[in-house]
Amino acid sequence: MSAPQTLIVTGTAGFIGCEVALQLLARGDTVIGIDNVNNYYDTQLKRARITRLQPFKNYHHHEFCVSDANAVNALFAKFKPQRVIHLAAQAGVRYSLENPAAYITSNLAGFCTILEACRHHQIEHLTYASSSSVYGSNTKQPFSEHDNVDHPVSLYAATKKSNELMAHTYSHLFGLPTTGLRFFTVYGPWGRPDMAYFKFVKNILAGQPIDIYNFGQHRRDFTYIDDIVGGVIKASDHTATPDPDWRSDSPDPATSNAPYRIYNIGNQQPVELLHFIGLIEKNLGIEARKNLLPMQPGDVPDTFSDVSALIREVGYKPDTPIELGVQRFVAWYREYYNV
């Protein structure tokens, strides 16, 4: 974008949200950050991420839940943002089996609050986080945005699918341009401690065994954080428009006659979990003690993204090799935790 903008970015204490905010701030945009800094995982790590944003005078941090409609609307009214990047959510597939109410509050009520604020404050474009988990029981690969995703296998996935449907409603009824991004296994420095790769490094360094589900036969479309951030910002800059070729008698789930778009954002190169662990072992110089276990409820065996639409339409370019990404993560982990 040529002229600096004001954007609201939700989830700025989170892994992706913090990195997106840093890139926007570095290019001169003003970022209004929202995060409730909940205790789903280590709040010290979340605070450390926020500390990275605070040197920027064009960053304004606010702590409350996105489901707080009064607080959200007051912020929109005060700062008058042009665009919104909504990344705040209750994350995690397995945790949704334990605490489903958290997902209803954050992912559904919270998203409704953001949609309403965007509607009433004439936001130019809302870009929001969906998830590869929406593909659920699908086995056709690579996963395409043009395929049906009506069979989620976790409540987390169901809330993300619901977000896409809610966004389409607002695009259709109120002309609000919305773009949903289905993230595929994001990893890298400053990542989430609840993610498997983070736990692997922690346990290997502590001499503890690592739990490997589906007996290590998973394949994941691991996508490095820098590639993800570049794609998110490019998608935000590229305002969704109606698809002139969309047909109501043969509807494409990824587009609409409203200003609505869904994209996969991944690396397009699935990696076997045991190979990924092997790269961690190589970078740590330690062999892992592996505890092979069956598939977990709510999990899927493989993820594989088709990102051709995002490459073609917004210039997305994932180019970080898995070997380099793992090396950078392990180096960050050892420095951050001094191990």
Catalytic residues: 156
Specify whether the CB–CB gap between 136 and 152 falls below 8 A: yes
3-state SS assignment for residue 219: strand
Element (H, E) at 70: helix 69-79
User: Which tokens hold the place of 158?
Assistant: 């169901």
Q: How far is CA 15 from CA 90, 138, 187, 188, 264, in A?
A: 13, 27, 9, 9, 18
Specify whether the CB–CB gap between 58 and 25 falls below 8 A: yes
- Which residue's entry shows tokens 């977990």? 296
Rounded to whole angstroms, the Cα distance separating 321 from 339 reads: 25
Q: How far is CA 34 from CA 108, 184, 217, 315, 324, in A?
A: 17, 23, 38, 28, 31
Ramachandran angles phi, psi of 220, nearest 5°: -130, 140
Specify whether the CB–CB gap between 137 and 153 falls below 8 A: yes
